[in-house]
Amino acid sequence: MKRLSWQVRLGLTLVILSVAIYFIHFAIFHDTHHIFVYLVGHLAFLPIEVLLVTLVIHSLLGAREKRRRLEKLNMVIGVFFSEVGTQLLARFSDADPALEEIRSDLVMEADWTDQAYRAVDARLRKRSYDVDVAKVDLPDLRRFVSDRRDFMLRLLENPTLLEHETFTELLRATFHLTEELTSRSDFAQLPESDLKHLGGDIARAYSKLVDEWLDYMKHLRDNYPYLFSLALRTNPFDQSASPVVNQGGKALQKHSAP
């Protein structure tokens, strides 16, 4: 009510000011014909003015605000991958029995074009992800996600994430995996059926991680070359990746096992 009252008072003030100006005009020139000619002319232009303000200017301001919100959201996504996502991708990809089929798609180069990203994204979204749960260190994975449980909870509470459905789904899948792991005390005694269930939860989080990671890498390439450089040098799918930069400006290569 206070806000409405402020708007009403402002509106009345402007109307009274307009009437006062017309009155002063009439008091000086005594020309009602001239006043009404310009009044009708201004009223005739009013719908066009409303169109310009509400559609054009409002759309421009809305687009600008949307870009600002997306920028904030991408900052949140970056923090997630820094704290959780990249390490999970490294763990899950090591247990992917068909990783070699997609490794070339995920070991990207700095000069990739938009078309290259779209082609890779289309191929990966059609892929069915799987993990060999026997290759996953479940106790260590439980420790890792448990230590970051509060962090992920705070991300879920961020209202900005409501505008990014795919990242929200990624967080839900990761948090569900965390709950599944923390609710089990002894992984050595689990039956095969339960291990298969955990494998499905890991595969779900893995697939969403890959999709979101690829989108985030493209965002870094387009907007933050220095962050993109580090992301390339710490690519969880690149066995030769190293954060160390040599004198030539390239990362020193780690020799992978034969």
- List, for residues 154-163, the tens digit of each pLDDT value: 888 877 776 6
Report helix, strand or coil for 130.
coil
Is the distance from CB of 183 to CB of 138 less than 8 angstroms?
no
Cα 15 from chain centroid (whole Å): 46
What pLDDT does 4 receive? 61
Nearest to 134 by CA among 210, 188, 205: 188
Region of 254 on the Ramachandran plot (φ > 0 left; ψ -120 to 50 alpha; else beta): beta
Question: Residue 207 corresponds to which tokens in the numbers above?
Answer: 């697939």
Is the distance from CB of 245 to CB of 233 less than 8 angstroms?
yes
* Cα distance between residue 181 and residue 206, in whole Å: 15
Report helix, strand or coil for 235.
coil
Cα 42 from chain centroid (whole Å): 45
* Cα distance between residue 150 and residue 155, in whole Å: 9
* Cα distance between residue 173 and residue 167, in whole Å: 10
Is the distance from CB of 197 to CB of 186 less than 8 angstroms?
no
Residue 173 has pLDDT above 90, yes or no: yes
Question: Residue 56 corresponds to which tokens in the numbers above?
Answer: 């054009």
Nearest to 148 by CA among 183, 182, 117, 197: 182
Q: How confident is the model at residue 36 (pLDDT cuts 50, 70, 90)?
A: confident
Class of residue 33 by CB neighbours under 10 A (exposed 0-12, middle 13-18, buried 19+): exposed
Of residues 134 and 9, the one with the higher pLDDT is 134
Residue 143 has pLDDT above 90, yes or no: yes
Class of residue 195 by CB neighbours under 10 A (exposed 0-12, middle 13-18, buried 19+): middle
Is the distance from CB of 212 to CB of 166 less than 8 angstroms?
yes
Q: How confident is the model at residue 3 (pLDDT cuts 50, 70, 90)?
A: low
Window from 23-32, 92-101, 140-149, 159-168 with minimum mean pLDDT? 159-168
For residue 251, report the phi and psi dihedrals to the nearest 5 degrees. Answer: -70, 140
CA atoms within 13 A on the CB side of 21: 7
Question: Residue 253 corresponds to which tokens in the numbers above?
Answer: 């290569």
